[in-house]
């Protein structure tokens, strides 16, 4: 299936893409499928809306992004600790959190085609798909239901988690007992979430299955606004350091009337997507709602005791972002079209730390055994240190273009001069400048560049 090429009309795009058709979005969707970043889930059966598979390059990009987030939020900080909780919790977790009654969308269903639509997205009383009559508004819970055990009974009903943070709150005492943290401190987690979204789309912007990177930062009541402002600045700075244009980022303060039931204050870091401004990361002041609710329902004391013996429920500042949505932003920011002697060069100008491949190794000529042998030695030298690609298909110009398009930062070419003096040509992705370097200097050269 050819996805959303530049020539296709809106009604030719598979429904599970739900694209607001823009030239840039079309190009990115096409590139990600063609080069192995993102595939529609279950594509051979026609796809399934809101679900995506990440291919060989996409999974590398995702892993690099998660690694950078983990390094920044956990490994480089003394007061933040990691956690990996289960996807399915005891159903009472979602009762305490308020999800069983509050995690809903107001929906209307078409009596003819039976599709459901969010009330706030409708214009008029007719189905936007077939023109049929719509039912009255009903509240639809966004959590996916499942059953634990062999028998499908109400008593065995559970839910796939819609957020990872509840796994942190129910492990609060376990973390206190094992690492004895001092306030302020954080617990961070990366993991899958599931939301039975009725309105999904714009490629991987809004999904039904997704990964989240969340930090719950526990602070003393009264210090919460100070830490809220701290995390607003820190998170925006992190995105800019990834290479995201600061002019395309803004803060959106949620009005009091639209705040979630647990929130004292929520600010979104929004990004200017090709289809409009949209949330990139949400930062919420969850107060002491979660710990207090779990304490009341479970009967377990989840208060923090400080050095003076005072016990209290900490307030929680929560920076939370989706992996897939961040990947989309990185792809949009990185996509370049540059004119050169051969036409138009497509480049994914990704931060080198995020690029799926850091280095690609070429023999100048694919039909020269001595060049291939030497190139293989260089490839085997670099591969344990960096994710390295091997490419010997087509002429050197086509190989450069292919690597540019997937974001590979350096191309190393082995030629006849290499056989004489053990030097190779290194080509920079962004500047296209080339320099020669000794083979035994390559690892240090690339490590130094990546550490900058």
Phi, psi at residue 174, to the nearest 5°? -60, -40
Q: Which residue has the tokens 């030629």?
A: 415
Neighbouring residues of 49: CB distance < 8 A, sequence distance ≥ 6:
15, 16, 18, 200, 201, 208
pTM, rounded to two decimals? 0.87
162-188 tens-digit pLDDT: 999 999 999 999 999 999 999 999 999
pLDDT of residue 125: 85
Report the alpha-carbon distance of residue 270 to residue 57 in Å, rounded: 26
Find residue 272's DSSP bridge partners.
Answer: 277
Selection from 28, 26, 32, 29 nearest residue 8 by Cα: 26
Report the alpha-carbon distance of residue 322 to residue 326 in Å, rounded: 6
- Tokens at residue 3, please? 């996805």
Helix H or strand E segment including 382:
helix 369-382
How many angstroms separate the Cα of 363 from the Cα of each of 188, 268, 360? 44, 48, 10
Rg (CA), the chain: 25
Report the alpha-carbon distance of residue 216 to residue 311 in Å, rounded: 19
pLDDT of residue 2: 25
pLDDT of residue 104: 63
Domains in the chain, CATH or no CATH each: 10-103+142-331 (3.30.930.10), 357-450 (3.40.50.800)
pLDDT of residue 52: 94
For the chain (length 452 residues), average pLDDT per consecutive 10?
Answer: 28 46 84 94 91 96 98 98 96 88 73 77 82 82 85 81 95 97 97 84 89 98 97 97 95 93 95 93 97 96 95 98 96 92 89 96 92 96 96 92 96 96 96 96 96 86
Count CB neighbours of 441 within 10 A: 13
Q: Alpha helices of 135-197 — where are they, by DSSP H?
A: 165-169, 172-179
pLDDT of residue 10: 32
Report the alpha-carbon distance of residue 440 to residue 237 in Å, rounded: 36
Q: What angle do CA 306, 311, 315 make, to 5 degrees?
A: 85
63-84 tens-digit pLDDT: 999 999 999 999 999 999 999 9
Find residue 266's DSSP bridge partners.
Answer: 284
Helix H or strand E segment including 138:
strand 138-141
Report helix, strand or coil for 180.
coil
pLDDT of residue 3: 27
pLDDT of residue 199: 66
């Amino acid at each position: 299936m050819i996805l959303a090429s530049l020539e296709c009309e809106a009604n030719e795009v598979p429904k599970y893409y739900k694209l607001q058709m823009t030239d840039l979005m079309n190009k990115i969707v096409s590139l990600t499928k063609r080069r192995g970043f993102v595939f529609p889930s279950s594509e051979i059966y026609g796809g399934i809306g809101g679900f995506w598979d990440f291919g060989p390059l996409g999974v590398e990009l995702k892993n690099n992004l998660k690694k950078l987030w983990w390094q920044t939020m956990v490994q480089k900080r003394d007061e933040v600790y990691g956690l990996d909780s289960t996807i399915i919790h005891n159903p009472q977790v979602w009762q305490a959190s308020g999800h069983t009654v509050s995690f809903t969308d107001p929906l209307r269903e078409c009596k003819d085609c039976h599709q459901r639509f969010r009330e706030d997205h409708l214009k008029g009383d007719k189905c936007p798909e077939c023109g049929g009559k719509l039912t009255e508004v009903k509240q639809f819970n966004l959590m996916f239901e499942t059953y634990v055990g062999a028998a499908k009974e109400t008593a065995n009903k559970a839910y796939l988690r819609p957020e990872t943070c509840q796994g942190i709150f129910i492990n609060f005492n376990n973390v206190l007992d094992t690492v004895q943290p001092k306030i302020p401190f954080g617990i961070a987690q990366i993991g899958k979430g599931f939301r039975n979204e009725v309105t999904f789309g714009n490629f991987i912007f809004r999904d039904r299955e997704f990964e989240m990177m969340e930090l719950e930062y526990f602070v003393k009541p009264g210090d919460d606004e100070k830490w809220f402002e701290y995390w607003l600045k820190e998170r925006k700075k992190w995105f800019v350091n990834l290479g995201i244009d600061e002019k395309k980022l803004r803060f959106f303060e949620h009005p009091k009337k639209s705040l979630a039931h647990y929130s004292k204050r929520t600010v979104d870091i929004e990004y200017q997507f090709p289809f409009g401004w949209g949330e990139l990361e949400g930062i919420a002041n969850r107060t002491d709602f979660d710990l207090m609710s779990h304490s009341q329902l479970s009967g377990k004391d989840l208060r923090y005791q400080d050095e003076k013996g005072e016990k209290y429920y900490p307030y929680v500042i929560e920076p939370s972002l989706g992996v897939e949505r961040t990947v989309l932003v990185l792809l949009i920011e990185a996509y370049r079209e540059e004119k050169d002697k051969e036409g138009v060069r497509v480049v994914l100008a990704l931060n080198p730390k995020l690029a799926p491949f850091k280095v690609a190794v070429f023999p100048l000529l694919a039909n020269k055994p001595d060049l291939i042998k030497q190139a293989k030695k260089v490839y085997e030298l670099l591969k344990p240190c960096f994710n390295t690609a091997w490419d010997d298909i087509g002429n050197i110009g086509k190989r450069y273009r292919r690597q540019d398009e997937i974001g590979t930062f350096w191309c190393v070419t082995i030629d006849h001069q290499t056989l004489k003096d053990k030097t190779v040509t290194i080509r920079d992705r962004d500047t296209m400048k080339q320099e020669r370097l000794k083979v035994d200097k390559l690892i240090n050269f690339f490590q130094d560049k990546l550490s900058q």
